[in-house]
Amino acid sequence: MIRKYPHLLWGLQNPRKREKDGMSTETFHHKLDFTGLSLEKAGTPEWERVRAQMMEVVANEENWFEAVYDGVAQELREALFGRTVKELFALPVEVKMRNTSNKAYHGYVGQIPGLDYEALSVFDAHLVEGTRSFTELMWPEGNPSFCDIVHSFGRQLSELEKMVRRMLLESLGVVKHFDRQNSELTFGLRMAKYGALTSQEATVVLPPHVDETTVTLVVQHKVAGLQVLTADGEWLAVPPSPNSYTVLIGQSLQGWSNGRLRAKLHRVMVGGEDTRYSSIFASHPKDDVVVQVPEELVDEEHPLIYKPFGYPGFVNFHHSEEGMKSDDALKAYCGVQLDEVGA
């Protein structure tokens, strides 16, 4: 069965919301340099410097930044987008549809009438077992180079995600929960293809949304499209860059942090004659984990706003009719009601 994702059609079904060119020319301020950093450097002056910049981004309620990172070799990124991703999307539809999940929008997405968008997801993308089982699903006869490239990419990006998350937890004063949180998370790699548009008009293909994830790292390949909503309410185009990764806070981290960290609203607008490829690498809670706010993040000034929740239930709610109608799916799913406060 081909699943339908009506929210993906937002840009096409709401011509009023199409925009000719939403690209903002605002100067780009959010580049944080992770070059030479690793988790072992936690506490060093270089680490503290980047963490201070991250705290500034969070304090300004921007909740996104571009991480310059040398932990993924240029050749690996080139191999992933130049060959591997193309080889994957060239597979027959019935093969790609084998990529299924218990969570909406976490398996193959595509074949949506009027929309040339496809995505596939590798689960446990940082582990060799995860990339191997995805590879075997797509190529039962094997495809070692695909498996190696995707696994290396996933593993190396998981290092960046951990540095970012550790710094965020340090900033909140709850780094003692970092190891336990690591054991409760897994990583997914979604590879997406946005077909060239026949019309030159730029169109919002992925409507404004916040990710359900803990932390998302978006990797754009050559063709721009990702836009974030700035604190001033402007859509800002994030330019693709060969050595950086766009970090966005997701709703699972918003929930875990009792709303101290806010999920970042973003969208994808494409136009023109180039097919666009991107990879979305993200941490998210494992299926059987109950996400619970640490007690240090609840006090008089910050009363508990989210009840414990599970990721699969939340994701499926987010994509349900009720969840899609809601302005704030996390609050609708597990928000503490006013009359429950102090109960």
Ligand X SMILES: O=C(O)CCC(=O)C(=O)O
Q: Which does 316 bind (CB under 5 to 8 A by kind): ligand X, Fe ion, none?
A: none
The residues, any chain, with a CB within 8 Å of residue 270's CB and separated by 6 or more, are 194, 197, 202, 203, 205, 223, 225, 276
CA distance 74 to 88: 20
Q: Are 163 and 38 in contact (CB under 8 A)?
A: yes
With CB under 6 A as the contact rule, which of the stretches 3-11, 195-203, 220-228, 329-337 interacts with ligand X? Answer: 220-228
Q: Does 278 bind ligand X (CB under 6 A)?
A: yes
State which of residues 84, 135, 220, 230 lies at the interface with ligand X (CB under 6 A). Answer: 220
CA distance 16 to 237: 20
Choice between 281 and 309, CB closer to ligand X: 281
Query: Under DSSP, is residue 77 helix (H, G, I), strand (E, B) or coil?
Result: helix
Query: Under DSSP, is residue 105 helix (H, G, I), strand (E, B) or coil?
Result: coil
Choice between 135 and 220, CB closer to ligand X: 220
Choice between 58 and 226, CB closer to ligand X: 226
CA distance 141 to 308: 43
- Kindly state the helix (H) or strand (E) to which residue 239 belongs, with its residue range: none
The DSSP output letter for 247 is E
State which of residues 66, 170, 211, 212 lies at the interface with Fe ion (CB under 5 A). Answer: 211
Choice between 104 and 218, CB closer to ligand X: 218
Q: Which does 120 bind (CB under 5 to 8 A by kind): ligand X, Fe ion, none?
A: none
Q: Does 118 bind ligand X (CB under 6 A)?
A: no
Q: Are 151 and 133 in contact (CB under 8 A)?
A: no
Shortest approach of ligand X to residue 111 CB, angstroms? Answer: 17
Shortest approach of Fe ion to residue 306 CB, angstroms? Answer: 20
Choice between 218 and 293, CB closer to ligand X: 218
Shortest approach of ligand X to residue 23 CB, angstroms? Answer: 14
With CB under 6 A as the contact rule, which of the stretches 12-20, 40-48, 218-226, 255-263 interacts with ligand X? Answer: 218-226
Closest by Cα among 260, 172, 258, 158 to 215:
158
- Between the alpha carbon of residue 44 and those of residues 37, 41, 57, 69, the distances in Å are 10, 6, 20, 17
Strand partners, 65: 247
Count residues binding ligand X (CB under 6 A).
12
- Kindly state the helix (H) or strand (E) to which residue 194 belongs, with its residue range: strand 185-194
* Chain mean position to CA 158: 13
Which residue has the closest beta carbon to ligand X? 278
Q: Which does 96 bind (CB under 5 to 8 A by kind): Fe ion, ligand X, none?
A: none
CA distance 67 to 80: 19
Choice between 118 and 170, CB closer to ligand X: 118
Q: Does 124 bind Fe ion (CB under 5 A)?
A: no
State which of residues 79, 163, 218, 253 lies at the interface with ligand X (CB under 6 A). Answer: 218
CA distance 331 to 317: 11
Q: Are 96 and 110 in contact (CB under 8 A)?
A: yes
Shortest approach of Fe ion to residue 266 CB, angstroms? Answer: 6
| Interacting residues with ligand X (CB under 6 A) | 190, 192, 206, 211, 218, 220, 225-226, 266, 268, 278, 280
| Interacting residues with Fe ion (CB under 5 A) | 211
